[in-house]
Amino acid sequence: MPVTPSPSTATPSPGPPSPGVLSPGVLSPGPSSAGPQSVDRALAVLDAVADADRPVGAKTLARRLGCALSTVYHVTGPLLARGYLVRTGEGYAPGPRVPALHRSHQRHHGLDAGTGALLGRLRRATGAEAYHTAYRDGLITVVDTTAPVTDTAHPFTPGPEVRAHATAHGKALLAALPRPLRRRYLADHGMARFTERTITSAERFEAEATRVRGQGFAVSVGEADLAYTCLAVALPERGDGIVHALSVSLPTADFGRRQGELRAALARAVPDFPALPES
């Protein structure tokens, strides 16, 4: 049974981490060696803090991740020391190292501040939230968005996209891939049903991909979230091995009367997507 440390002992122990009690599907136990398991736990703590809208206390982290409180103290020690977390009066918050990681991410993907500026212009032109998404090495990621980070009800947030088959940006990216890569992605990530409109058949998705390529854009009308509709276009190949897409989303009730306007705005934005930097 885990023992809760007193405030005077709430510092990382130099010894091995307490194994804690892991909740299924929340914090994977991983390999039996302590190293990979500790890394997994540290990343789970980072995710939990990043996803929260305010600082998170140690007891709350332990409860959310299904682990011992001593485990939280153990894994947050190195994260604090390296600047990935900071401790406030309310709990843990993202640290100063996090913005540097974002800048590194942008640099490695050949992006710059121009991408954010482009999304901002698209947002102002349409009144709809705008997104940049990308496919790379079997993963689809929402790279950036104009949606406020405090809008926890918004369905599309930066990070791994787990509903690609049900979103317009996912459809646009997957339709741009060779069929074997597309089928492999769907097999690896599954085709979960999110609403009654979600496509859950690989054969039906192939027909959808053909339609997307033919019309030059992708639409998801309430397939990932009934309240939202999104429209997306894949960007021309840039020679970096990454497939990029621009998209917008808005309430489904508003989509019908604005579809043509949104398509035109996306078409105008595509040529302004930043080019790869000169090598």
Chain segment 9-63, per-residue pLDDT in tens: 333 333 333 323 233 333 433 333 345 778 888 888 998 898 888 899 999 999 9
Instruction: Inform me whether the pLDDT recorded for 201 exceeds 60.
Output: yes
Q: Give the per-residue pLDDT at 112.
A: 60
Q: Give the per-residue pLDDT at 3.
A: 37
d(CA 184, CA 233): 22
Burial of 125 (0-12, 13-18, 19+ CB in 10 A): middle
pLDDT, mean of residues 92-117: 75
Which of 87, 109, 111, 85 is closest to 96 using CA atoms?
Answer: 85
Q: Give the per-residue pLDDT at 209.
A: 97
- Per DSSP, the residues of 69-94 read HHHHHHHHHHHHHTTSEEE-SSSEEE
d(CA 133, CA 273): 12
Lowest-confidence segment of 26-30, 120-124, 252-256 by average pLDDT: 26-30
Quote the distance between the C-alpha of residue 16 and its chain's center: 31
Lowest-confidence segment of 87-101, 102-116, 169-183 by average pLDDT: 102-116
Structure tokens at 95: 């640290």
Instruction: Inform me whether the pLDDT recorded for 181 exceeds 90.
Output: yes
Between 82 and 113, the more confident residue is 82
Q: What percentage of the chain has pLDDT greater than the value 70?
A: 80
d(CA 8, CA 275): 54
Cβ neighbours, 10 Å, residue 41: 25
Structure tokens at 53: 């809208």
- Per DSSP, the residues of 123-174 read HHHHSSEEEEEEEETTEEEEEEESS-TT-TT-S--SEE-TTGGGSHHHHHHH
Structure tokens at 188: 């690896």
Q: Give the per-residue pLDDT at 278.
A: 44
pLDDT, mean of residues 172-200: 96
Q: Give the per-residue pLDDT at 26.
A: 39
Q: pTM above the 0.85 mark?
A: no
